[in-house]
Chain A
């Protein structure tokens, strides 16, 4: 049974960056895609990007291109999502999620607990 544990809440100022971590256990980390999804207050779920470590493949949603970077550390089975040039609209809960099938994109069968990021001056 895979488990994803995310880092704690963050408060950031506009224009700064945030880096959220997601540590996986219970599954061969690099074989499964890791995705990041966010939910702003009162809004729906929004996919930001994902990576399949073993295939060295990553994709990002167009609206976050150039602002988001997803990376992985295989030695610690940890994924990271860094979002730069923060603005108030980036205030949201950020989730990592992993797919149920190896070496491909698929449905997200395991999720982290969520990390609240607040952007405020």
Chain B
């Protein structure tokens, strides 16, 4: 099974900062990668699909890039509501999630 390794596992930043979260796949997965935002007590929310496509309605400060084995999620200017947990996911017939990155206020 394909493994996804996210880094960092936690990140401290301030409102207005630009942050990048990385996700590395154990083997090439083309662009079959998604990013989710997960707030406590809520269902996860799809942000990015096919590695770099922004889901409709998601703020443009979120962006994704990469292909093959290395991917990134960038938040260009952090807002207070962005300090939650983010997951990457490889989607195929056996989906896998990364272990998550918790974004904390500095």
Answer yes or no: are A and B bound together in one complex: yes
Across the interface, name the chain A residue whose C-beta is closest to B43.
A111
**A2 near B: Cβ within 8 Å?**
no
* Size of the chain B interface, CB-CB below 8 angstroms: 23
Interface membership of chain B positions 87-106, coded 1 if the CB is closer than 8 angstroms to chain A and 0 otherwise: 10101111111111000000
Main secondary structure of the interface of B (DSSP, over half): loop
**B-contacting residues, A89-121, CB 8 Å:** 95, 97, 99-100, 105-109, 111-114
Interface membership of chain A positions 41-79, coded 1 if the CB is closer than 8 angstroms to chain B and 0 otherwise: 000111100100000000101100000000000000000
**A35 near B: Cβ within 8 Å?**
yes
Known A-B contacts A106-B91, A109-B55, A114-B43; the reply to A44 vs B99 at CB < 8 A is: yes
Give the segment of B16-24, B44-52, B65-73, B75-83 that binds chain A. B44-52
**B25 near A: Cβ within 8 Å?**
no
Across the interface, name the chain A residue whose C-beta is closest to B49.
A107
Q: B residues near A, CB below 8 A?
A: 1, 34, 36, 38, 43-46, 49-50, 55, 87, 89, 91-100
Q: A residues near B, CB below 8 A?
A: 35, 37, 44-47, 50, 59, 61-62, 95, 97, 99-100, 105-109, 111-114
A-B contact pairs, 17 of them (CB 8 A): A37-B97, A44-B100, A45-B36, A45-B38, A45-B97, A45-B100, A47-B94, A50-B95, A95-B43, A105-B95, A107-B91, A108-B36, A108-B44, A108-B95, A111-B43, A111-B44, A113-B43
